[in-house]
Structure 1
Amino acid sequence: MEYTDYDTRLAAYAVVTEGDRVLLARLRVPEAGTWTLPGGGVEFDETVEQAVVREVLEETGYEATCGPLLGVRHHIVPKERRMHDNGRPMKAVQVVFRATVTGGSLRSETDGSTDEAAWVPVAELPRRRHGLLVPIALGWAGALHP
């Protein structure tokens, strides 16, 4: 399949840790109740680093600085599973950075794709519904404990 035959969604995510806890946001849509890293789609006029900072603020209330790149993940979303059906499959490209809180205070997003933000103990992750990106990115960050 040629690149002109599918859509690409570029998204940027942050791994923010404090001791043995990770900052997560709970999705309201499309997979309600699933915990994920703060992050989301990169706007046309911003860099991936700017997107990480904006998304952390929008979804958690924290001001942050973007740290080093941890990794890039991609997966295919078949046209039947797309949130906005346009008859085309999509390649989702997820760029993950380490980030550090520099200000603000924890709050949940209103009228966005998430509905709650929380510091979650890493050891509690097996008992919480979360997206696949969470353990992958925590592994890249060296934040998973055996």
Structure 2
Amino acid sequence: KACEYWFWRCGPRQSDVMRGTGLLLVVVSGFLLRVNPVSLAFRLAGPRALGRHGRTRVRLASSYEDEARDRLQRLETIMLKVVAEQARQLKVLEERLQATERRLEVTRAEMKRLREATRASGIFGALNVSEQSV
């Protein structure tokens, strides 16, 4: 996966970045990292721009990039697990809701059947009691 970089630095001159005295911040896919400006300039300009010490500094910048990539992968894994768990919980809740709705329909049908049976028997009329009071 390619990382997107946004660069900005605080320092009086562009040459400060090449000398490593400026402050350089790198945002790698949402992570704000402090990077050695010399190593980053080496990565951008090539090995001849900085001489023989550039190679070890490149490894440093590369390790920051690898660490950010690893963090992103861990976050993506966690988020996928969270989303999967929420989807599973939603499915369970939907099944419970459907079961409750089925029980409600059965209860309504039973109430209707009992109401009609009670009317047919005439018990309430003989006792002078209304259905609503039961």
Q: Bigger relative contact order, structure 1 or 2, given CA contacts below 8 A and separation 6+?
A: 1
Q: TM-score band (shorter)?
A: under 0.3
Q: Which has the higher strand share?
A: 1
Q: Which has the higher helix share?
A: 2
With the length of structure 1 as denominator, give the TM-score of the two structures: 0.21
